[in-house]
Structure 1
């Protein structure tokens, strides 16, 4: 294995590593340790079958149930399909952490670029530890006493706005099981390092503050995520697989490839019990 840092602060590109061969406990433990340190791992030149993708997910824990609003790979329900083409425009052009609306959101996401456009379609990640560390000490103390509400309906409000057929599915999603309150500043469960845990997609409001006070605070935090200092940007190539820490990072899928086809397959892993 050869590791090349992606930025000075987080992320790494891993060379000479075959993800289909992560079979023994030592290799799996090393991969988990590396992800905890680097937060985003990029693997090029992989030949990842659906079966290998699911096995890789199990390296990190229990795979999350299928997403109600997305198709899955036939015969492989844990693998979600995210496809853009002329009839399916991009819908992830907002910074987010996958399903933060859950009481126990996914811990790890593993994304495989299956069909890539000839240009565009990059993905960005933001280091939420770095966002925390850039806050002043008084602001950290203030935010440390607050919680924010994350809501599935907020994250997928665009489905209603576009009047898509998926509105019927959205209406069937159980509200209470897909709405959660999380501390705005929380320790990472594996490392204990503090991070900011709000995102522009799912976070609806700050529980302890009225709207006119809470909204400017959220806007300040959302704007910090857009600072390139805290980010890394990936240009996809055929055979690229990326895994990331879903609590310590947020991500943003750039839609500048539209209407060219871009199809990604994703497995998400639940946090340890």
Structure 2
């Protein structure tokens, strides 16, 4: 079933609970229209993910459309389109001179949020499919507000005011690094950005489960064994919540805009012999706001701020 916003955007649901295709206008048209951009901001606030299917997008289009959702943020230590500071290239390609065309990575990745180890993580993330290999990998997106809503009450009460350290670990979201990467000494894992396990989604006011990608991350006030046990339990529960997922191949020309404050994402790997190029852009976010504090804690009120799924 398709529906429209103000008779201008034709949207089609991608899953029963979040995500829509934008069908009747192109990404390039939206990049040039402040009126359409205002409608897109309203749409992503409600649906958390927008896909413009199979578009022809220039670097300037990609930059302009992403900037409609907030000031662009430079992804540090990343490969970029030449002359485009904010346009990162995710690619395992090698050019004629033997140099990498992007980050050089074709690994499968676990569920994660972008740059949770930064003091202010990105607000919006964008993927644009430039070159897709025959063994096209799928990207997954998971709604962590819905995951939180599904948590047993016991876990909600346990984590309501806990905070974890999002420490730096090279390629921490790669599946093999996740499975085999040895833990750093605790004193190193205590260095990083401290974030609440339950954050407030600024758009809706809903509580969002906000987890560090490393299961050996330090939860403040807890010994290693207890901290790891709790994070393993939370991630195991998260991985089982398939009703919170949308999974699809990023095709050539797909322009995907998603809310990095409410969704986590992952991807499959693909053969090293096959090249895949994705443009990646992000906008500035806001400092992570704890859902609960000692002054505002009221578990009986949480149901009122959990957004209901849109009626498709």
Shorter chain as denominator, the TM-score bin is 0.7 to 0.9
C-alpha displacement of 1:2: 2.4
**3-state DSSP of counterpart to 2:71:** coil
Q: Is the 8 A contact 2:110 2:173 kept in 1?
A: no
Residues in 2 aligned to 1:182 and 1:140: alpha-carbon distance in whole angstroms: 16
**3-state DSSP of counterpart to 2:87:** strand
**3-state DSSP of counterpart to 1:47:** coil
Match of 1:260 in 2: 274
Structure number with greater CO (CA < 8 Å, separation at least 6) is: 1
Residues in 2 aligned to 1:126 and 1:199: alpha-carbon distance in whole angstroms: 15
C-alpha displacement of 1:239: 1.1
Residues in 1 aligned to 2:12 and 2:197: alpha-carbon distance in whole angstroms: 32
Q: Give the TM-score normalised by the residue count of structure 1.
A: 0.86
Quickly say closer, same or farther: Cα 1:205–1:90, change in 2 above 3 A.
farther
Count matched residues: 257
Residues in 1 aligned to 2:170 and 2:197: alpha-carbon distance in whole angstroms: 17
Match of 1:45 in 2: 54
Q: Is the 8 A contact 1:110 1:266 kept in 2?
A: yes
Query: Which has the larger Rg?
Result: 2
Residues in 2 aligned to 1:157 and 1:8: alpha-carbon distance in whole angstroms: 31
Correspondences of 1:79-228 after superposition (within 5 Å)? 79-85=87-93, 88-91=104-107, 93-151=109-167, 153-154=168-169, 156=171, 179-201=192-214, 204-227=217-240, 228=242
Q: Give the TM-score normalised by the residue count of structure 2.
A: 0.76
Residues in 1 aligned to 2:214 and 2:23: alpha-carbon distance in whole angstroms: 33
Matched, 1:21 2:36: no
Task: Give per-residue Cα distances to partners, 1:96-155, cap 9 Å, x unaligned.
Answer: 10001111100000111101012331100111011101112231121112011112x225
**3-state DSSP of counterpart to 1:77:** coil
Residues in 2 aligned to 1:202 and 1:268: alpha-carbon distance in whole angstroms: 25
Root-mean-square deviation (Å): 2.6
**3-state DSSP of counterpart to 1:206:** coil
Q: Is the 8 A contact 2:125 2:260 kept in 1?
A: yes
**3-state DSSP of counterpart to 1:95:** strand
C-alpha displacement of 1:82: 0.6
Residues in 2 aligned to 1:92 and 1:73: alpha-carbon distance in whole angstroms: 23
Runs of 4+ in 1 over 6 A off after TM superposition: none
